[in-house]
Amino acid sequence: MKIINLVLSSILVLIISCSKKESEINVPPLNLIQAQELWLSKGIDSYSYTQTRSCFCLPEHLGPNKLIIENDLIVSVDGELFDVSIHQGYLTINQSFKYIMNNLENDPEEFNLEFDLTYGFIRKYFLI
């Protein structure tokens, strides 16, 4: 009897864990062009955000790194003045859109994009 209860409980857990959350069902995802248009419509050119990278690079470049952008230019990374020779690979949100579009033209083997539904900025991307 204990085995049957265990099996039934396990099946119930699997069924519940496979169901979608209501918010996932009701919120349509943005595509790249829609997200970029939404971002541009906000007119934001000065902001800060935290960037975490996954790459074959030194651990200090993986992040998380806090970027401060003013007039669509990176001015600092983790409180240090931005220097292109030191801070390679960091991107503004507009640069990230261009980077992704250029890489999608090369027909990547895999990609995954996730955008903020309110502002359109790129929350997460993965390209191979």
Of 37 and 22, which is predicted with more confidence?
Answer: 37
Which residues, at least 6 apart from 13, have a Cβ–Cβ distance to it below 8 Å?
none
pTM of the model: 0.72
Would you state the pLDDT for residue 48? 97
Sequence spans of domains, the chain: 28-127
Would you state the pLDDT for residue 56? 72
Please report which residue ranges of 1-128 form alpha helices under DSSP H: 2-18, 22-26, 32-42, 59-62, 93-105
pLDDT by residue (tens digit) across 59-87? 766 788 899 999 999 999 999 999 999 88
Which residues, at least 6 apart from 48, have a Cβ–Cβ distance to it below 8 Å?
66, 67, 68, 69
Count of CB atoms within 10 A of residue 36's CB?
A: 22
